[in-house]
């Protein structure tokens, strides 16, 4: 399902700007991610971006070998969020991919809420 959605979840004008990013699928966040994100019992994530956002890349970024940024989607929380309905799950995947790609571009959660017209 993720493969069929892929970068189509990203608005067309941004797709060509997504570079050196690997998409991964794991069942759930591991202990390292849970700890770094301060997740408590019963809390989870749908996705996780790890890398150097565009806004933090200097002039020398890309000189030499650079490991790709990663966007990890967490299968079990996404399926739970979608309630087992394939169409709902596709929607959760699309939103999660776009959310994590927004982090790749340097947007934080508050920026994303403002751009979607949500208040704090």
Q: What's residue 117's pLDDT?
A: 44
- Model-level pTM greater than 0.85? no
CA distance 100 to 15: 13
Q: Are 52 and 58 in contact (CB under 8 A)?
A: no
- Please give the pLDDT value at position 120: 37
Strands of the chain, DSSP E = 21-26, 47-50, 69-74
In the predicted model, what is the mean pLDDT of the chain?
A: 82
Structural domains of the chain ordered from first start:
2-115 (3.30.2010.20)
Alpha-carbon span 112 to 69, nearest angstrom: 20
How does residue 3 score in pLDDT terms, banded at 50, 70 and 90?
low
């Amino acid at each position: 399902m993720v493969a069929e959605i892929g970068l189509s979840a990203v608005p067309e004008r941004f797709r060509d700007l997504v570079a050196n990013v690997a998409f991964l699928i794991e069942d759930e966040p591991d202990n390292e991610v849970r700890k770094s994100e301060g997740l408590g019992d019963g809390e989870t994530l749908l996705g996780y971006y790890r890398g150097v956002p565009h806004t933090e890349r200097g002039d020398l970024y890309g000189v030499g070998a650079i490991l790709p940024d990663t966007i990890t989607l967490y299968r079990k929380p996404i399926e739970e969020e979608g309630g087992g309905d394939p169409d709902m799950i596709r929607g959760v995947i699309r939103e999660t991919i776009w959310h994590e790609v927004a982090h790749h571009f340097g947007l934080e959660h508050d920026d994303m809420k403002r751009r979607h017209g949500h208040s704090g």
